[in-house]
Structure formats: C-alpha cells, structure tokens
Amino acid sequence: MPVTEQRYSFSFISGALYLRESVAVALLLRKHGDWDRVRREVLDRNALRQRTRESCVRLFREIRYRLQELTAGEVGFLCDAAAPDQRQLLFIAACLRYRFVREFVEEVLTAKAMASDQQVYPGDISRFFEAKEAEADEVARLKPSSRAKVEQVLLRMLVEAGLLDSVESRRVVRVVPSKTLARLVATRDPRLLKYLLLSNTDVRQLVS
C-alpha cells in the first residue's frame, strides 16, 4: 500500500479534516495546476480565512501535504463530490500522510470492526499510545498536554470521516462510500479502502 510518511508526525493536531479549507485549495489547484500559484492566491486573498498571514501559511502547508497524497483525479473528484465522499477521501489522504493515524485505524479500529466490537474504550487508546511510545522516540517525547491534543484531534478526525459516532461515545460506525469514490480509489489501490474499515467483500461489492 503506498505511503509517504514513515516517521511519526503530529502536525495534524492543528485541526481535523479541514473539509471547507481543503476543498477551497483543491478548487484552486484544479484551476491553476500549479502549487506556487495556488499558494500566492491563498495568501493574497486569505482564502483560508485565518486571522494572521502566519496561521494561513501554516494551514496551507498542512492542507498541501494532505492533498499531495491524492492523485489528480482524486483532487478533481474532491472538488465536486458530496460532503460524505469528500470527508472519506480526505481521511484516506490523512492516513497516507500520518503514520500515527494510519496505524490507529489498522491496529485498533480494524481489529474492532473484524470482531464486531463497536466500542473504542479509553484503554484501547492508552494501550495504542504505550505501544507507540515503546517503538518511537517522537511518540515517547510527547508531553501529557500534547498527547491529550493528539488524542482529541484524532478522535475528531474519525468522527468527521464518519468512522465514529461522536468523540464522547466513540462507537464505531459502518461507512458505506459511494461506488464512484470506491471505484476511483480502487483504480490506484483497492487496499486504501481498508482505511474506511471496509472488508475485502465490501470492496469487491463496491467496485464491481
């Protein structure tokens, strides 16, 4: 499965999926086809509606990292798709970009989905953090406040993608992407649909 980010990066704690902002950048990318021109227009127009230029620069950089995980066809689809498909595609991009998010889906949520266990307990999250702390210094060095922020934004991201019902109850939800989205993603690699907790049978039915 193609992934580009191998170290644990936590730049995603600035926000969750950034649906509105990501679509705005995607539209400009489709229009210009050049990241430098997109950046200039975003900053000149404050297209991301940030209070300061510095915060606009940071947010644009974060969105760019995620959108660069998508193919040109996927970016084009993002511009015009229905909101659920947009969120699910942005979540796939986040999984590709962030090892921590990706592995939480693979090691915690997928295991629960396979076991028909709908509840994510605090202990599940704690054990995941502890396992990653033992593996990587960048996780072990997180301060308690930063760890809490990582958990908060990770859960928000899962809720926005439709994989959890809420940050409070943390119940796993079955996602059914549109056939259009499923087929588009599958043309690159059908395994990417596993980030939406789809089984092999689910994937075959959607892309057939």
Residue 14 has pLDDT above 80, yes or no: yes
**pLDDT at res. 1:** 46
What is the residue-averaged pLDDT of the chain?
93
Residue 208 has pLDDT above 90, yes or no: no
Q: For 123-151, what is the mean pLDDT?
A: 95
First to last CA, the chain: 21
pLDDT (tens digit, 9 = 90+) per residue, 34-46?
A: 999 999 999 999 9
Which residues have CB under 8 Å from 109's CB, separation 6+?
A: 120, 158, 163, 172, 197
Q: Is the pTM of this model over 0.75?
A: yes
- CB atoms closer than 10 angstroms to residue 79: 16
Domain ranges of the chain: 16-68, 82-208
State the virtual CA torsion across 25, 29, 30, 33 in degrees, nearest 10.
180
Coil, strand or helix at 51: coil
